[in-house]
């Protein structure tokens, strides 16, 4: 762990590229609005401090003894916390690509039965997993070796997770016709068409399920109903537009798919704790204060 902290000392308080494909690092304090987002599928290893993630009505906390796997795109709200000695939060992440996982499956033993259908879970770090991460991140010091060695070390990280307690999550996103894989087809449509009205029947057809089974399994995976999932994406996109100055509350409401600015303001306030204009102003003030410091 000490070496991983040394290797990632250049992390900033936003997603920081490492030069290794699909691998990034971050160091706190991370601005609040960056932690409320639609997260891509990833393995995230915390090195220092801790983080809490809320997905729907489920809350997760992880620290340097744990890592989390997010197997599908999920709208979540996060918060990072420094270590007990005041050292800032720090973490590294590896974005998941199903085809890379699928290439490993033929070489693995039969999987254990899965105990959940959730799209996110927290597990304990093993020495073998830490060792693979360390060798991968050492490549930042010898970038000429990245093309030849990074794929092998990434493969080992995937292998360690696949053969661990949460391996079923990776298997399911890389295996056709599993619940996660089929729900993921509907999620990808929602992400691409979040501005459009939602037809639950159409989403269920995309997932090759009945409406009742689709609704039940979608919520088991994401902790949200399909309509709630779409609403979270709209609100997160709206906040990004407001903070970037792309429009006022009314224009942004229509931009992200709302038909009523009043409904948008009400739902935005319920989710973020303040009306759109006030929340955006607070976020901008916090960013300016950080830059001034």
Which distant-in-sequence residues (6+ apart) come within 8 Å of 156 by Cβ? 132, 135
pLDDT of 117 reads 66
pLDDT of 174 reads 85
- Give the SS3 label for residue 213: helix
Q: Are 222 and 187 in contact (CB under 8 A)?
A: yes
Instruction: Give yes or no: residues 45 and 157 share one domain.
Output: yes
Question: Model confidence over 86-105: pLDDT tens digits?
Answer: 999 999 999 999 889 999 98
Last residue of a domain, one of 159, 174, 189: 174
Instruction: Give yes or no: residues 263 and 133 share one domain.
Output: no
Q: What angle do CA 107, 113, 115 make, to 5 degrees?
A: 130
Domain span at residue 189 reads 179-224
Q: Running DSSP on this structure, what letter comes out for residue 198? A: P
Question: Model confidence over 256-287: pLDDT tens digits?
Answer: 999 999 999 999 999 999 999 999 999 988 88
Q: What is the per-residue DSSP string for 141-169?
A: G-GGGHHHHHHHHHHHHHHHHHTSTTHHH
pLDDT of 120 reads 87
Q: Which value, to the nearest 10 degrees, does the dihedral of the CA atoms of residues 217, 223, 226, 227 take?
A: 150
pLDDT of 293 reads 65
Instruction: Give yes or no: residues 213 and 275 share one domain.
Output: no
Instruction: Give yes or no: residues 95 and 46 share one domain.
Output: yes
**DSSP bridge partners of 25:** 16, 92
Give the chain's domain count. Answer: 3
CATH number for the domain including 26? 2.60.120
Residue 210 neighbours by CB distance under 10 Å: 12
Instruction: Give yes or no: residues 19 and 138 share one domain.
Output: yes
Give dist(CA 22, CA 96) in Å, integer: 8
Q: What is the per-residue DSSP string for 42-85?
A: EEEEEEESEEEEEETTEEEEE-TTEEEEE-S-EEEEEEEE--TT
CATH number for the domain including 271? 1.10.10
Q: What share of the chain is helix, strand, coil (3-state, %, to 5)?
A: 50, 20, 30
Instruction: Give yes or no: residues 129 and 218 share one domain.
Output: no
pLDDT of 158 reads 96
Instruction: Give yes or no: residues 22 and 160 share one domain.
Output: yes
Nearest Cα neighbor of 236 from 41, 76, 60 is 76
Instruction: Give yes or no: residues 122 and 191 share one domain.
Output: no
The parts of the chain modelled with pLDDT lower than 70 are 110-117, 293
Give dist(CA 151, CA 116) in Å, integer: 29
Half-sphere exposure of 88 (CA within 13 A, CB side): 16
Instruction: Give yes or no: residues 194 and 264 share one domain.
Output: no
- Give the SS3 label for residue 287: helix
Q: Is-above-0.85 flag for pTM?
A: yes
**DSSP bridge partners of 59:** 54
Q: Are 283 and 33 in contact (CB under 8 A)?
A: yes
pLDDT of 292 reads 72
Q: Are 77 and 53 in contact (CB under 8 A)?
A: yes
Residue environment code for 20-53, b if the CB has 16+ CB neighbours within 10 A, otherwise e: bebbbbbbbebebbbbbbbbebbbbbbbbbbbeb
Instruction: Give yes or no: residues 241 and 156 share one domain.
Output: no
Instruction: Give yes or no: residues 165 and 252 share one domain.
Output: no
**DSSP bridge partners of 43:** 69, 94
Instruction: Give yes or no: residues 17 and 41 share one domain.
Output: yes
């Amino acid at each position: 762990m000490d070496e991983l902290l040394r290797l990632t000392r250049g992390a900033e308080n936003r997603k920081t590229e490492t030069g290794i494909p699909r691998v990034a690092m971050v160091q706190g304090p991370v601005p609040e609005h960056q932690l409320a987002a639609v997260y891509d599928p990833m393995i995230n290893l915390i090195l220092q401090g801790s983080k809490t993630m809320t997905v729907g009505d489920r809350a997760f906390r992880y620290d340097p003894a744990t890592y989390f796997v997010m197997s599908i795109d999920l709208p979540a709200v996060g918060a990072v916390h420094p270590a007990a000695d005041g050292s800032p939060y720090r973490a590294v992440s590896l974005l998941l690509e199903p085809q890379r996982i699928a290439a490993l499956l033929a070489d693995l033993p039969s999987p254990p039965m899965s105990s959940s259908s959730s799209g996110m879970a927290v597990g304990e770090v093993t020495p073998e997993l830490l060792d693979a991460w360390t060798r991968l991140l050492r490549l930042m010091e010898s970038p000429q070796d990245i093309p030849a060695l990074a794929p092998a070390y990434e493969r080992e990280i995937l292998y360690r997770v696949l053969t661990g307690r949460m391996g079923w999550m990776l298997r399911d996103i890389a295996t056709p016709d599993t619940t996660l894989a089929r729900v993921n087809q509907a999620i990808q449509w929602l992400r691409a068409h979040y501005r459009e009205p939602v037809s639950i029947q159409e989403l269920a057809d995309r997932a090759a399920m009945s409406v009742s089974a689709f609704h039940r399994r979608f919520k088991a995976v994401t902790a949200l109903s399909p309509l709630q999932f779409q609403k979270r994406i709209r609100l997160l996109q709206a906040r990004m537009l407001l903070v970037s100055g792309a429009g006022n509350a009314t224009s942004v409401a229509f931009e992200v798919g709302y038909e009523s600015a009043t409904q948008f303001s009400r739902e935005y306030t319920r989710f973020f704790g303040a009306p759109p204009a006030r929340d955006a102003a607070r976020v901008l003030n916090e960013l300016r204060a950080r830059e001034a410091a």
